[in-house]
Structure 1
Amino acid sequence: MRFLLVILGGAVGAPLRYVIDRTVQARHDTAFPWGTFAANVTGSMILGVLTGAALSGAVSQNIQLLLGTGLCGALTTYSTFSYETLNLSEAGARFLAAANVVASVIAGLGAVFIGLTLTQAAFG
């Protein structure tokens, strides 16, 4: 049963990542990978909220598997982030590559922290 929850969450997260990426990137005429950035920050926020809810006992382990491991695991993407950063660097856009690394780490950690803090405040 747990395995199926992860599969179900992943089956929603992967196409959601694609839709977020294409929608956001279509609105920006730049080499910066805004679509992947948005998907990763969104997934980080969801995971922060979910973690806060789990720590307060508001969600079950099954929900953690469905949304945390499945959905967020497929929604966020370290491999695409790495690939796009490498492409920027190889294309000579080293500033954008460095900005992608710094902004992604800061925004991702910030989103997890904000989600966790808000949820703990709501359920605490």
Structure 2
Amino acid sequence: MIGHLLLVASGGFFGACARYGISVWMNRRFPSAMPWATLIINLTGSFLLGLLAGGAWGDAVYLLFGTGFMGAYTTFSTFNVENVQLIEKKEWKILFLYIGGSYFLGILLAYAGFVWGTTLGNG
């Protein structure tokens, strides 16, 4: 049990650091009303979590990377706050592109990752 907790905590530490670093870098490099950093983070996280779910990686790998890293790396709360901010600014076009792109591409990438993970797990 303690070993599982340490795996999740370790993965969470690195996932949170990765999310923070990517967010800072992208927001400085590509300032925009569109929250590109969160979109890219959530889409890459969807793919990677799908990859993990599709493969036979074992409990330790899933706890470290799936629950820990991806749990801290991707962020539903930031996504929702950014949507509220877009509503407040009446940025309707960006809002609908962001919501649609996040869900459609997120599901598509999670599925692609799952299929690829299944292929790798059976290879």
TM-score, length-scaled by structure 1: 0.91
CA-to-aligned-CA distance 1:65-119 (integer Å, 9 cap, x gap) = 1100000000000000000011011011122112111110011111111111112
Alpha-carbon distance in 2 for matches of 1:52, 1:38: 21
Alpha-carbon distance in 1 for matches of 2:120, 2:5: 30
Letter of the 1:92 partner, please give it: K
SS of aligned partner of 2:21? helix
Alpha-carbon distance in 1 for matches of 2:69, 2:101: 23
Residue 4 (structure 1) aligns with? 6
Equivalent pairs: percent with the same residue?
Answer: 34
Letter of the 1:35 partner, please give it: A
Residue 16 (structure 1) aligns with? 18
Aligned match for 2:89, one of 88, 91, 95: 91
Alpha-carbon distance in 2 for matches of 1:66, 1:29: 32
**How big is the shift at 1:29?**
3.1
In the TM superposition, what are the counterparts of 1:38-49 in structure 2 within 5 Å?
38-49=40-51
Residue 68 (structure 1) aligns with? 66
CA contact (8 A) 1:48 1:116 kept: yes
Unaligned runs of 5+ in 2: none
Unaligned runs of 5+ in 1: none
**How big is the shift at 1:28?**
2.0
CA contact (8 A) 1:24 1:38 kept: no
